[in-house]
Amino acid sequence: MIVVELMGGLGNQLFQYAIGRSLAFKKKTDLFIDTRFLTSRNVTGQRVVFRNYDLDVFNINPTLVTLDISRRYGTSSSFLNRYGKRLLNHWIKTGTLTYVYERIPFQYDSRIGQVDDNTYLSGYWQSVRYFQSVIKELKSDLCFKKPIPSFANGLAEDIQQQQSVCVHVRRSDFVTNLRHNIIETVYYQQAERMIRTHVTEPAFYVFSDDIDWCRTHLRFDGPTVFVGDEYAGEQAGTYLHLMTLCHHFIIPNSTFSWWAAWLSKHADKVVIVPKNWVYDRGTFIKSDELVYPGWIQL
């Protein structure tokens, strides 16, 4: 069995599912997920943002791990106990599973290549190299469970009939968390100029968790639609579905829109991502582990 611990929002959960799916496929074993830390409302620490299990917007149904395994290996909800428990799991191997935690974010960990069956994974695992070998299987897995709702059909048709550019703006908790490096409006201005060197007559569709801010602060030299919250749908599933229908992408340092771009079926899509992804330990971590050939870092 391969067990992967889920943490964070839908974009993060997708990266965690992807590495688990890849390892389970390679080892010809079953994939289990641990949602206990994700859904806990007793988590302590700075800048805690509670999330829900959101993978069920897709037509997948991974198996939940047993409570015993979750308690033995899963991340503690207490900030003071988290790292102690991690060290305990790493150094004292009294359980049935091998515990592997992510050492450095946004950097491929070569230990994953040696992972065997019966392993518990804890981390965010945000690198395309973790799941390159199962892209076909992932594309098959990550089909939306529900069709675009009828109230959004007109918008979906408009998106598909144009050289649509998905512009995603992430704010909310990023505004007060310096680690996430809020993307400034100048990035979107430069990205529009870059898009125009590749795309004729682009139409811009703006998606955001703060659409009113976008209406006030963003301007594009072309048809622009600000997609309001009424299109979000349950678990923001409709929002994500609409985003995947776009032809091209200007995304911030957001795993949510990263997956929208990845799931887009347009082979000739132009995807622009910020070069600096997060600010960590006094320096910027680049988006190198997240770009594909043809994707543009700006």
Model confidence over 138-169: pLDDT tens digits? 999 999 999 999 999 999 999 999 999 999 99
**Domain shared by 268 and 176, yes or no:** yes
C-alpha 223/C-alpha 226 separation (Å) is 10
**Domain shared by 234 and 291, yes or no:** yes
**Domain shared by 270 and 160, yes or no:** yes
SS3 279: strand
Q: CATH number of the domain that 251 lies in?
A: 3.40.50.11350
pLDDT value for 175:
46
**Domain with 191 in it:** 150-297
pLDDT value for 264:
97
**Domain shared by 213 and 193, yes or no:** yes
C-alpha 262/C-alpha 244 separation (Å) is 8
Last residue of a domain, one of 115, 141, 167: 141
Domains held by the chain: number: 2
Bridge partners (DSSP) listed for residue 275: none
254-258 long-range Cβ contacts below 8 angstroms, 24+ apart: 254/11, 254/168, 254/170, 255/8, 255/9, 255/11, 255/12, 255/14, 255/15, 255/126, 256/9, 256/10, 256/11, 256/168, 256/170, 257/11, 257/166, 257/168, 257/170, 257/207, 258/11, 258/290
**Domain shared by 273 and 166, yes or no:** yes
**Domain shared by 107 and 192, yes or no:** no
* 74 CB-contact burial (10 Å; exposed 0-12 / middle 13-18 / buried 19+): buried
Residues of the chain where predicted confidence (pLDDT) is lower than 50: 175
**Domain shared by 96 and 128, yes or no:** yes
**Domain shared by 81 and 170, yes or no:** no
Last residue of a domain, one of 96, 118, 141: 141
**Domain shared by 172 and 224, yes or no:** yes
Q: For residue 280, give the amino acid letter.
A: D
Q: Tens of pLDDT along 249-274?
A: 999 999 999 999 999 999 999 999 99
C-alpha 197/C-alpha 86 separation (Å) is 48
**Domain shared by 18 and 134, yes or no:** yes
E-strand spans in 118-253? 119-122, 163-169, 202-208, 224-226, 248-250
pLDDT value for 173:
58
pLDDT value for 149:
94
**Domain shared by 199 and 261, yes or no:** yes
> In this structure, are residues 204 and 222 in contact, taking their beta carbons and an 8 Å threshold?
yes
Using the 8-state DSSP alphabet, how is residue 106 labeled? T
pLDDT value for 138:
96
C-alpha 145/C-alpha 26 separation (Å) is 26
The model's pTM: 0.92
> In this structure, are residues 73 and 119 in contact, taking their beta carbons and an 8 Å threshold?
no
**Domain shared by 63 and 120, yes or no:** yes
pLDDT value for 32:
97
Last residue of a domain, one of 116, 141, 166: 141
**Tokens 């981390």 correspond to what residue?**
123
Q: For residue 12, give the amino acid letter.
A: N
> In this structure, are residues 50 and 16 in contact, taking their beta carbons and an 8 Å threshold?
no
